[in-house]
Structures are given as structure tokens and as C-alpha cells.
Amino acid sequence: MSATRRTERGRTERGRTVTTPSLATSGETGHVILTPTTPSPPILASRRQRRPRRILIATVVLLSVVVSGLLWWNAGRHVAPHYVTAPVSRGPIARVVSASGTVNPVLNVQVGTYVSGVITALYCDFNTAVKTGQICAKIDPRPYQTVVDQEQANLATAKAQLTKDQANLTYDKLSYDRSVALQKQDYVTQDSADRTKNAYDQAVAQIQLDQAGIEQHRAALDAAEVNLGYTDIVSPVNGTVVSRNVTMGQTVAASFQTPTLFIIATDLTKMEVDANVSESDIGGIHAGDTASFTVEAYPDYLFTGDVVQVRQAPQSVQNVITYDVVIDVANTKLLLKPGMTATCQIITARRNGVMRVPNQALRYAPGGLTNGPAAGGGDHRDVWLMRGNQPVKVPVQLGLDDDNYSEIVHGDVKEGDLVVTSEQPVTGDHAAPRAPHF
């Protein structure tokens, strides 16, 4: 039985050529066999070009859907910002200058020595309370006592010589008077009378010389006694010994630079702080300003005092210029010790009971912008007050300010108003999500 085959044929669908497979009939079994036909090369190349284009289009569509969903999700979660506010209040405002300084006694007296020698005794130590004239140390007095004894002997010798010369003067005076009387009667020659006159004049001059010698020896004796007195190291003031720089048996040498043996503070119940103030802040400090300070030994205790002196002498340390401001402080409890480091706050201006706003409110502007000077410049600024549920800009005029608050001199602001200091956007869990709309 012969087999009948349907050959490959082509047909056109909507402007494109479609290739259909051919049918073949088996002559022996009578079954129909579907045999695929091989497309032509132009048709196969067209299919391969369209496949990547479809994938690209599907990818772009998917990404667009994802991005739109994310944008909708974020937009649905965002709500109005949360405003951080603070009340307008009344209270004090103080402008201060910060500085560091050192606690010192009002007067420190350095006790030295005028003479050289060996320290043979010590009567004062650290923290010893002393009175004026009290002996604190003793230098070996024997060398200086020897000089005193020698000058006393020299003075006694000079006095004895004066007594002897006074006796000679008396004799020379009698001889001269006798010669004058005899010469008038021509019993002695003129030359003999002149010699007695010369002897008398020399005796008178010798008396004057002896008197001057006595004064000289008396002065030398006084100097020797002064040096002997300097072997006693005494306190010149009433106070407390804060430093002792000598020990028993030490040899001290008084030369061009007098050695310091003791340092005595006059009165430790009255102290002063030498504060170093920078040149940029010194212009606002004057005598009489109130100051407060703390020391590391008592960090919770606030000491107060007054500025008593602003010294004109500059102090330069690594090209940084500072000026010494002296603060007087009472130390009745003796808490302050010499040499303590003080952290000072000097009040240069102070006003009580003024209308004030936090300084953060002056820097706030909606949207994170910087709040600069308002119209008029200078001390004119804008603040944002909560009126209802919305911030409203209010122009104000500022006065005194410190690190925390600024004074309101003029403006539509009253005590208790809420002023905006910052804003915080509310997102995330605080916002109600919405269903996506495409």
C-alpha cells in the first residue's frame, strides 16, 4: 500500500508567515504520523531577536511597580512634624566670664637672712602660728659675738686714750699760761713761749681726734651688734608659716641674692584668687563685680567674692595674652589652701525678673533653616510661638543674654507662651499606613 504525504505548506496570518508540520500516513499500519518540519533560517532569527526585548519590558514594568509601592508606603507613613517647645518665663539673667586662677593669701612674706652661718636651732615649722618678733631660727652667733667683743674693746681703748689726752691738754694749758706770763717779764724767750703754745694747740686737736675715734668705734660696735642680732631669724608679721626651706645644721650664705628660709602668710582667713582672664573678655570686667568659683577639693561648694583689682600688666604665655584679675574672698572656715586651682565665673552684668526665652528658640526656623537677625538687624530676632497647633513667627527685641537664656525687651510675647525650640518629623510606627493605590 503506497503512503500518502502532505507536504509542508505555508500560510499567512495577520501579515506573518506560519509554518505548519506535514502529515504522513503509513501504508502498512494506517496510522497518521505528525512529522515536525524545520523552520526556515529567517524565521528562526526573528524569534531569537524578540525574546530579550520581552524580558527587558517585563523587568522595567516590575521595577516601576516596586518603586511606586515604596513611594506610596513612605508617603502614607509621614505626618506633620512634632514641635519641641519651651515656656517663656521670668527669671534672672547673668552674663559671666569664665576663667581659671590660683588661690593665694592676701600677703605672703618671705623671711630670709642678712648674715651667713650655720643653722643651730629651728623654732618654727609648717603651719606654725607666729607673732611679730617671734624667733623662728637661729644662726650660730659666735663669729658675730667675737666681732662685738672686739669692737667693745676698741671703744674702751679710744675712751681711755681720750682721758689720757685730756690730762696732757691740762698740763699743756698750764705750761702755755706760764710761758705767756714769764715772756711778758722777759724771763723766757719768745721761741720758748711759741713752743708751749704749739704743744697746747696739739693737745686740743688730739682731744678732738680722740672724740672722733670714739664715735667711729661706737659705730663699728653698733654694726657688729646688728649683725649679731641678725643671727636670730624672726617673724616680721603675725601669720602662719606656709613654707620652710631650711633644716637644722644647714649653712646659709647671704650674698647678692638673699636665701629664703620661711614664707609666712599674714592671715589665712582672708584669701584672694588671681584669675587669668583673656584679652577678649577683660573689657567687661571692673572692680566691684561679683564672682564665684569652685575648687577641686570641694566641687559642690560654691565660694563667692568680689573683684578688687584688674591689673594692667599683661601676661604672655605662648603668644596668648591674659590679665590678672584679683578676687577677694573670705576664708573663715579655712577650707581654701594656698595654691588651689579655682574655676571662676565673673558676673559682668545681671538682671532679675526679666522676660526670657531659651537661646535654642532664637536659632530655630521651620524646615531646618537658620534663624538669622530679623528686620532692623542688631538685637532684633524672630521667634516662633505656638498659636493653636501651628507655629507663628513673632519679631522680638533682645536684651541681655547668657549661656542659656536671652532677655525679651519688646515683642508680642507674654509669660507662659510656648516658644518652638526645634521640630522632629514623626514617621514609622507613629504614622497610619494606607492601602496602596495603583
| Per-residue pLDDT tens listing for the chain (438 residues) | 444 444 444 444 444 444 444 444 444 444 444 445 555 555 545 555 566 677 777 787 788 777 777 766 655 554 567 889 999 999 999 999 999 999 999 999 999 999 999 999 999 999 999 999 999 999 999 999 999 999 999 999 999 999 999 999 999 999 999 888 888 888 888 888 889 999 999 999 999 999 999 999 999 999 999 999 999 999 999 999 999 999 999 999 988 788 899 999 999 999 999 999 999 999 999 999 999 999 999 999 999 999 999 999 999 989 999 999 999 999 999 999 999 999 999 999 999 999 999 999 998 988 755 565 554 445 889 999 998 888 899 999 999 998 899 999 999 999 999 999 998 876 555 444 443 433
Please give the pLDDT value at position 186.
83
Cα–Cα distance measured from residue 256 to residue 276, given in angstroms and rounded to the nearest whole number = 33
Report pLDDT for 19: 47
Structure confidence at residue 80 (pLDDT)? 62
Which pTM does this prediction carry? Answer: 0.62
Closest Cα partner for 224 from 121, 115, 136?
Answer: 115
Distances (CA, A) of 267 to 41, 235, 342: 117, 14, 19
CATH topology of domain 97-106+264-352: Elongation Factor Tu (Ef-tu); domain 3 (2.40.30)
CB atoms within 10 A of CB 12: 8
Beta bridge partners of 290: 306, 347
**158 Cβ partners below 8 Å, 6+ apart?**
210, 213, 214, 216, 217
Would you tell me how many other CB atoms lie within 10 Å of the CB of residue 355? 22
> What is the gyration radius of the CA atoms in the chain, in angstroms?
57
Do residues 394 and 382 touch, judged by C-beta distance below 8 A? Answer: yes
Helices (H), 268-358: none
Cα dihedral sign for 66, 70, 72, 76?
Answer: positive
Q: At which residue does the C-alpha cell 600677703 appear?
A: 107
Q: What is the distance between the alpha carbons of residues 80 and 85, in angstroms, rounded to a whole number? A: 15
- Domain positions in the chain: 83-92+353-430, 97-106+264-352, 109-244
The residues that bridge with 342 in the sheet, in sequence order, are 101, 295
Q: State residue 18's pLDDT score.
A: 44
- Asked whether the beta carbons of 116 and 260 are under 8 A apart, the reply is no
Strands 341-358, 320-330: pairing kind: unpaired
**Per-residue model confidence (pLDDT) at position 64:** 79
Question: What type of residue is 59?
Answer: T
The one-letter amino acid code at 407 reads: E
> In DSSP terms, which residues pair with 291 in a beta bridge?
305, 346
Confidence at residue 351, expressed as pLDDT on a 0 to 100 scale: 93
Task: Pick the closest to residue 420 from 389, 385, 395, 371 (CA basis).
Answer: 385
- Which fold would CATH assign to domain 83-92+353-430? 2.40.420
* pLDDT score of 189: 85
Beta strands in 81-238, from DSSP E residues, in sequence order: 82-87, 89-105, 108-112, 117-122, 129-130, 135-139, 232-234
> What pLDDT is recorded for position 372?
57
